[in-house]
Structure 1
Amino acid sequence: MDQPRDTSSVIEITPSAPVTTADHGWRAKCLQRLIRMDLPVPRSFAISAAAVRGIASGRMLARGDLDRLIAAAGGLVGVRPSALNPEWGGPGTVLNVGINAACHARLAQRLGVDAADALYRGFVQSYAIHVARLDPDMFSEPDATLADALAAYRDETDEDFPQDPARQLAEVLRSMARAWDGPSARLLRQAKGAPADASLGLVVQDMALALGPGVTGSGTIQFIDSVTGAPGITGRFQGQTQGRAMLADAVTLYLTRDPRGPSLEETAPGVFADLVRFGVAARERLREEMQIEFVVADSELSIIDATRVQRSSRAAVRIAVALGRDGIIPTDEAVMRVQPRALSDLLHHQVDPRAPRDLITRGMAASPGAATGRIVFTAAAAQAAAARGEPCVLVRRETVPEDIRGMHASVAVLTERGGMTSHAAVIARGLGLPCIVGASGISIDARARTLTAGARSFREGEEITIDGTSGEVLAGAAAMLEPALDDAFNQLLEWADAACTIAVRANADTPEDARTARMFAAQGIGLCRTEHMFFDEKRLPAMREMIFADRPEDRRLALDRLLPMQRDDFTTLFQIMDGLPVTIRLFDPPLHEFLPHDREGMRELAETLDLPLSDVVRRVDALSEFNPMLGMRGVRLGIVIPEIYEMQARAIFEAAVAAGRKGEGVVAEIMIPLVSAMREVELVRHQIEGVAASVRQETRTRFDYRLGVMVETPRAALRAGDIAEHCAFLSFGTNDLTQMTYGLSRDDAGRFMGSYVAQGVYAEDPFHILDQEGVGELILTGVKRARARKPGITLSVCGEHGGNPESIAFCLHAGVDYVSCSPFRVPIARLAGAQESIRALRAAQACEGLKAGS
């Protein structure tokens, strides 16, 4: 204990003391700010992070320091952790350090025997459990007396409870310092984003005793609701209670007047008024909504601490906007204070965090929001339930394109297999449906129509809740919070748009998608996938006729039936978007997806087409491929069967003419999928130019369009310069580009991706967060080569990464003009783009400042 010390290791926290967050932690700095505001804060000391590291390694503070720390009137102090960031936590607070037999006798005279016993007993119990590391069960008996606690300590340690206050304090400091350095604490901190070598300061504060005569007790108060963010005083006040110490007549008071019982406002109106005044001052001076911890001793108020109010996502938005509107923080700072992903919680119903949860199993949280419905196992059953007006949850091993109608009819989706970019996840995000994928803890028996999770079994028709935000499947109907698309939400995004330097469009395939995109202020449609339009039950027969046609003229006849339907689709999209750009991707999937694969389905198709069953079986077999995602799809299909792209181009141009006549200035953008060679673009461009000329002549109307390419293959990224010469825009489809770069199936990768990330093979799931080292390198190469060959070309990213905040940051710095994502991720992308734009501006300003200074 008598080793030399650094004189700056222990600092009394005064208004002018050299206390810094970096050296002493957030709590010490916050207490200094409270002291500067003249709040009644008990005498407090900050122990530096360097000194705490020394204590952990065996270099205790000097005896003089220990005596100085504990020399307050009454000789009692509390020790609290003070990490660099409050989110990192720390060891538990220890109160009433320094109490011993002599102090107990003095307290008994001043406060009464019961209060003195409660304080001493509470400290003995806390010291035994947290410092001496004794069995908690031995010291948690609520009816134990002070004598019981002292006897139990003596029995467990073979020595009397330490009476030297300095020794008590030294042991508390050592215990907290070493607890911070423990492996489990380090792992917990790292899970919260702390670096492995994060440091800890400690605060030693004179005790304000919350036991004794008059209005006496401890509590917390805050001025907003933590769940909703609505203004209002909440908290608690418990009379005659301090930490583990509690008197028999302890009572909980409401803070404000309440018909259910007495309140602090009525019992001690002066104290309550001071608390309100201090709360307003803390909000203005600390520029944050704070929870204040306080002690009242015989109607005398002490402010012990102030911490940032814990808050839900919706409360975070409301608080940031209120602070911005009140001029307490700049609007750019308000934008920076909300995590982009937090907006997901505002767009959908959410399970109320205050409600109980009956957990069935967990999976990947693939699409946020929550919904309750009855279990169905097929798309047909989902449609039937929707027709009856019954909310249903579609439960599948994994979804396929034919399930799209069932997904439309459901309120949520649950799959046993799949990852973040599986079919179910992508479509659910586009539809705004809560979705959980990769729930490997369930087993589905489609024949028996049951879902099994562990020892529990659920039959079709039973009710479950899907929490797509947390990835939890719950039994029954859970209590919900409504979406919060309120004034604060809109204001935050208005401020974000003012700062954002990258545009945000939406991936939208249906009128509902487009309306959602407009509602969330998307700047156009960056990807309209046309193949989903063909799965409609009215269109599928014509599509199948086209597939079975042997001659071009027969294919055209079948496609002619689809032409007016496609034209109506595109006309509606153009009208909804009201002159904003609409990028339509030409037909992409392999044809086998539109055919049945079971015997019964083939028999029905044969009857519909009036063909022998053997012909249908042969055609299905002929179209099947070993790896259809790398087979005849996309531009390859458009070149081999040009009638498909010709029909779609005609539908697009005729829709543009029709929409233009109603006042919308439409410039259609046509995108060719899965390109890997410049010649593919030349061939399709020639086709489309011919169709455009024909439509112009037939309608006697001039219209413009833009032709672009979806860059989804590594070769297209590498040859982007050549390809750029033949088109007006390039859009990087990062879903397939990631799949082809890694050689991974995005639908199957979920089976092992968790293990890969856990073992450090990949830092993150590359289908969830853009791989900047590999896929990102291809994008950067493509951007550079395309711009070098054609400086004015428009470049974008339209894969699922377009809605991921980390990936948006990369896209902004890569020089991409816009990102496109699922409609319900548009607000997230707008906020993420704004935050990265603000960071880039601040970095540029800092750089300019350095140049000016030099």
Structure 2
Amino acid sequence: MATVKKKAAKKAVKKSAKKATKKTAAKKSAAAKAKPGKYVYVWGDGKADGDGSMKALLGGKGANLAEMSNIGVPVPAGFTITTEVCTYYYDNGKKYPKTLDAQIEENIAKVEKVMGKKFGDLENPLLLSVRSGARESMPGMMDTILNLGINDEVVEALATKTGNAKFAWDSYRRFLQMYGSVVMEVEAEAGEHHDPYEVILDEAKEKAGVKDDSGLSADDLREVVEKFKALIKDRSGKNFPEDPRAQLKGAVNAVFNSWNNDRAIVYRQKYGIPAAWGTAVNVQAMVFGNTGKTSGTGVAFTRDPATGENVFYGEYLIDAQGEDVVAGVRTPKPIAKMAKDLPKSYKELQVIRKKLEKHFRDVQDVEFTIEEGKLWMLQTRNGKRTGFAAVNIALDMVKERLIKKEEAILRIPADDLSHLLAPIFDSKAEKAATKVGSGLPAGPGAASGKIYFSAEESVAAAAKGESVILVRQATSPEDLRGMIAAEGILTTEGGASSHAALVARQMGKVCVCGAHNMSIDYDKKTLTGNGVTLNEGDELSLNGFVGSVYAGEIQSSPSQVIQGLLENKAAAKRSDTYKKFMELMSWTDKLRKLGIRTNSDTPEQVEQAIKFGAEGIGLTRAEHMFFEGNRIDSVREMILADDDEGRAKALKKIKVFMKKDFKGIFKALDGRPATIRLLDPPLHEFIGTMTDEQKQDLSEKIGMSASDITKRIHSLHEENPMLGHRGCRLGISYPAITATQVEAILEAAAEVQAKGTKVLPEIMVPLVSYARELEIQKQVIDETADEVRKKLGLKKSQLKYTVGTMIEIPRAAITADEVAEHAEFFSFGTNDLTQTGLGLSRDDSSSFLPAYQDAEVLSNNPFASLDQGGVGKLVEMGVKGGRSVKPKLKLGICGEHGGDPDSVKFFHRAGLNYVSCSPFRIPVARLAAAQAALEEKGLARGEVS
């Protein structure tokens, strides 16, 4: 039996090795296809120059079109102009490589041969679509032109060839609208609230007595075309170009130019997409969903991108083109109804759905067109999904054996776990609320905020601290800034695959779209539904789980995960969301190497953090104990004292409440380590903002006159308190302040230990620049500890502690080898290290950081995600210097960056022992740490065999 098992094992190893070799060979083959000087890659008829591994060169869309063609999925022929051309275009004053035109012509001929049509021909014309395609999906951020190649002659040829004049003129008016807007830049002018093309269309529909575009006749559409051309000529001063090749050149220029339009730049900044990547341009043969009742178009996901449920999810329209579905111009039908309308195509779609998901091993977002009963796939890409869906899909695919646990962990964006922790509406409050409408639940969650009807107003309101609900008939890429600023998004048009739904899911925004029973009046700035009219600035609430819309603000409740973890509610623990969250967290803990601690200042926060998975405290800020009740008066008394006697009197009061708090924290930790930072904040935080009333009140409590208090405050004034008399500087000036804190820590530790709970205090000295500063403070700490032991009758082994420092000043990082002589641990305080390392004020830089990000001086906010190239190098210097003296020196990080996924991965690579973050960021840090461990092994999403 053992021999059989051995043989089976050997066979499995060989099979795995063979599979890995094939995979490597495929990658090498793909790399070999990227030839110098080759700027255009063709696909079609079951073969392609490239494949799915070439996203950097072909962009995501082009690479996946090539891949679909290679695996036998029906894809209209086309070609990709590479991202290298985009880079060349911007590096050379918007000029192209000399050989590009010839390569385009060569590949047009190949497309013509596959499709059996000719570009610009008057007998059997080939029309083209021109689309962008960055390596990372940027839905709707760049430009698209459909039906390119049509003109006054071609439209007649198309009508004759198909015998469908209505279809031909409909395609022409669509092309004019897109080309006129995108290439010739004829759009709504200042003061116009509506798209001028849509105004012309609305007039035509009203004249014809029809509800939507599909009801217009060929003659109606002919008239629309003439008016579109007149509009373009009037506003641009130029005639619409009749030459198809001139049209193609203009469209390609427009797509490359759109890489740097405002919405694309905003999107890249939000998702950290480098401008240097550029976009590809995909030129593809048009297939038509607008030829009649046996044609149609749709957008679908192989699973529900909002919840993760394993159902075919999407929408379609009969007699339409793809933009109609996405733009929300017409109300699409759920994909399930296609089984009745177009049964043959629906069955084919189901087969392709399974084939694509199995091949790409991920949820796919597909676009398709049916032309006279023939199904064509126009695009596939990994589907954007909510945090809920990301977790559900990843874990379900492990159970289905499509992927392994490691890949499941890699493909869930760590930040998306915060979606599972977001509040939901209180059920009683929701039942009592006034329901004013309902739509499709496009983005799960609960959001309340004030109504605003434009992106500009939403951004301005959010900047003032308001919670915003952006309300639009339908969103477009121009609304991106407002969508980022909003807590929730409501549209009255569109469906589950509309722009609003797609972008909201990616951003994790609460979204209800297609609330067709509600209406917006932009001029009056009102929203009406169910007989209730709400004005701009009124409160509105959205339930993105079910699609309900309510007037007013609704009280919220914790998520099911929070209810299960923190409130121990049995019903919540039975929920699928809670179970999958816990399962995922158990996987991460088996893989990660980084420890995860918490930044917590109270016993309650510590208890929360431990339930979230914290393994100790990375930062307790002593000064945060002083803001409860009247405690601040004792601190102010200490600061204002002008002699040792007065200071000692105040310190005695301070010690009492500090000791009480430390006992509570140590009990909550139940044997886990606790890093406690000694008093650090600028003194002005305690006394600089006192009102006359507060001074008078304090005067009566401490026996110092209000005028003397004012004089003392003035004498302690600092021009730059952030770099002033604080941290170790305060302790060196007044050793009693350090000694009092140490007494409180160690006496609390001794009392908790006496009751059977292990205590591991780590005393951290802040704001060290020189090794001598730490040496002096360590001497005070050690002497105080000896006095406490003597007072309590304890041996050294009975009351242990360690002493370390926070590395938050560049000099400390640079001279870490010297500082380490006196330290048993370092904790990198990356908040202040960022301020001092970059010379940026965290509080004052917000006024120019957006301009810096627009100019690409900064790729992101360095206070949110670590500046790895600058501040990160200081961290690396600190690690190297510290461990050169003490190889086993314990290293951690306790700045805000401890909960940022990209920063966590950097700290893993830098060799830290742990990261510390706020309690609610702990799950994010746990997942990011597991991903870092997998990436260290050379694994990335899609590479786990």
TM-score, length basis structure 1? 0.73
What residue is the counterpart of 1:217 in the other structure? 296
User: Amino acid of the residue matched to residue 241 of structure 1?
Assistant: A
Alignment counterpart, residue 95 of structure 1, candidates 143, 147, 172: 147
Superposition deviation, residue 582 in structure 1: 0.7
Superposition deviation, residue 7 in structure 1: 10
Contact preservation (8 Å) 1:221, 1:236: yes
What residue is the counterpart of 1:643 in the other structure? 736
Superposed CA deviations along residues 455-487 of structure 1, whole A, max 9, x for unmatched, are 9xxxxxx987999xxxxxxx9748989747434
C-alpha distance in 2 between matches for 1:491 and 1:591: 46
User: Amino acid of the residue matched to residue 255 of structure 1?
Assistant: P
C-alpha distance in 1 between matches for 2:387 and 2:908: 25
Contact preservation (8 Å) 1:95, 1:243: no
Contact preservation (8 Å) 2:597, 2:617: yes
Superposition deviation, residue 666 in structure 1: 1.7
C-alpha distance in 2 between matches for 1:550 and 1:252: 75
What residue is the counterpart of 1:83 in the other structure? 133
2:79 aligned with 1:19, yes or no?
A: no
Alignment counterpart, residue 725 of structure 2, candidates 609, 615, 632: 632
The 5 Å alignment of 1:380-779 reads: 477=553, 483=559, 485=561, 486=577, 487-547=579-639, 552=644, 555-595=647-687, 597-701=690-794, 702-758=798-854, 765-772=861-868, 774-779=870-875
2:305 aligned with 1:226, yes or no?
A: yes
The 5 Å alignment of 1:818-829 reads: 818-829=914-925
Higher mean C-alpha deviation, range 829-838 or range 579-588: 829-838
SS of aligned partner of 1:570: helix
2:133 aligned with 1:71, yes or no?
A: no
Alignment counterpart, residue 931 of structure 2, candidates 832, 835, 853: 835
SS of aligned partner of 1:305: strand
C-alpha distance in 1 between matches for 2:97 and 2:372: 40
Contact preservation (8 Å) 1:81, 1:91: yes
Q: 1:547 to 1:129 in 2, by over 3 A?
A: closer
C-alpha distance in 2 between matches for 1:154 and 1:752: 43
Superposed CA deviations along residues 695-714 of structure 1, whole A, max 9, x for unmatched, are 33444451221111122333
Q: 1:350 to 1:223 in 2, by over 3 A?
A: farther
Kindly indicate which of the two structures has a greater share of residues assigned to helix.
Answer: 2
Contact preservation (8 Å) 2:296, 2:320: yes
Contact preservation (8 Å) 1:253, 1:264: no
SS of aligned partner of 1:100: helix
Q: Percent identity?
A: 31
What stretches of structure 1 of length at least 5 have no aligned partner? Answer: 1-5, 258-262, 373-411, 413-433, 435-454, 456-461, 468-474, 845-854
C-alpha distance in 1 between matches for 2:322 and 2:868: 49
C-alpha distance in 1 between matches for 2:176 and 2:705: 89
What residue is the counterpart of 2:494 in the other structure? none
What residue is the counterpart of 2:321 in the other structure? 242
Superposition deviation, residue 842 in structure 1: 0.9
What residue is the counterpart of 2:416 in the other structure? 342
Superposition deviation, residue 646 in structure 1: 2.4
Contact preservation (8 Å) 2:813, 2:875: yes
What residue is the counterpart of 1:358 in the other structure? 451
What residue is the counterpart of 2:257 in the other structure? 182
What stretches of structure 2 of length at least 5 have no aligned partner? Answer: 1-36, 87-95, 119-123, 188-194, 205-218, 426-440, 470-486, 488-508, 510-524, 526-536, 543-550, 562-576, 941-945
C-alpha distance in 2 between matches for 1:766 and 1:154: 49
2:201 aligned with 1:141, yes or no?
A: yes
User: Amino acid of the residue matched to residue 804 of structure 1?
Assistant: D
The 5 Å alignment of 1:267-346 reads: 267-296=341-370, 301-346=375-420
Q: 1:117 to 1:567 in 2, by over 3 A?
A: same
User: Amino acid of the residue matched to residue 103 of structure 1?
Assistant: L
C-alpha distance in 1 between matches for 2:49 and 2:111: 20
Superposition deviation, residue 19 in structure 1: 2.5
Q: 1:371 to 1:494 in 2, by over 3 A?
A: farther
Superposition deviation, residue 740 in structure 1: 3.4
Superposition deviation, residue 763 in structure 1: 6.0
Superposition deviation, residue 671 in structure 1: 0.8
SS of aligned partner of 2:725: coil
What residue is the counterpart of 1:173 in the other structure? 248
2:67 aligned with 1:46, yes or no?
A: no
What residue is the counterpart of 2:483 in the other structure? none
Contact preservation (8 Å) 2:300, 2:365: yes
Superposed CA deviations along residues 48-85 of structure 1, whole A, max 9, x for unmatched, are 53899669965451585575365249655442436252
Q: 1:599 to 1:183 in 2, by over 3 A?
A: same
Contact preservation (8 Å) 1:720, 1:785: yes
Q: 1:490 to 1:517 in 2, by over 3 A?
A: same
**CA RMSD, aligned part only?**
4.5
C-alpha distance in 2 between matches for 1:30 and 1:643: 68
Contact preservation (8 Å) 1:180, 1:186: no
C-alpha distance in 1 between matches for 2:149 and 2:736: 85
TM-score, length basis structure 2? 0.67
Alignment counterpart, residue 105 of structure 2, candidates 34, 52, 61: 61
Contact preservation (8 Å) 2:598, 2:618: yes
User: Amino acid of the residue matched to residue 696 of structure 1?
Assistant: R
Higher mean C-alpha deviation, range 546-555 or range 310-319: 546-555
Q: 1:531 to 1:463 in 2, by over 3 A?
A: farther
Contact preservation (8 Å) 2:678, 2:763: yes
Q: 1:484 to 1:33 in 2, by over 3 A?
A: farther
Superposed CA deviations along residues 238-281 of structure 1, whole A, max 9, x for unmatched, are 222235899xxx99663366xxxxx3334445543443343233
Aligned length: 729
Contact preservation (8 Å) 1:335, 1:835: yes
C-alpha distance in 1 between matches for 2:239 and 2:876: 70
2:160 aligned with 1:105, yes or no?
A: yes
Superposed CA deviations along residues 612-648 of structure 1, whole A, max 9, x for unmatched, are 3343333333333343333332223223333332232
C-alpha distance in 2 between matches for 1:789 and 1:672: 19
Contact preservation (8 Å) 1:226, 1:309: yes
Superposed CA deviations along residues 98-152 of structure 1, whole A, max 9, x for unmatched, are 65324312422xxx55555545554565566667777884695352724325655
Superposition deviation, residue 208 in structure 1: 4.9
Contact preservation (8 Å) 1:121, 1:145: no
2:882 aligned with 1:786, yes or no?
A: yes
Superposed CA deviations along residues 486-532 of structure 1, whole A, max 9, x for unmatched, are 34444444444433333232211122321332233122111100111
Contact preservation (8 Å) 2:60, 2:137: no
Q: 1:93 to 1:321 in 2, by over 3 A?
A: farther
Contact preservation (8 Å) 1:125, 1:149: no
SS of aligned partner of 1:329: coil
Q: 1:600 to 1:56 in 2, by over 3 A?
A: farther
Contact preservation (8 Å) 1:370, 1:465: no
Contact preservation (8 Å) 2:43, 2:69: no
Q: 1:69 to 1:154 in 2, by over 3 A?
A: farther
Q: 1:785 to 1:253 in 2, by over 3 A?
A: closer
Alignment counterpart, residue 202 of structure 1, candidates 278, 282, 293: 282
Contact preservation (8 Å) 1:55, 1:177: no
Contact preservation (8 Å) 2:300, 2:366: yes
C-alpha distance in 2 between matches for 1:12 and 1:625: 68
Higher mean C-alpha deviation, range 803-812 or range 719-728: 803-812
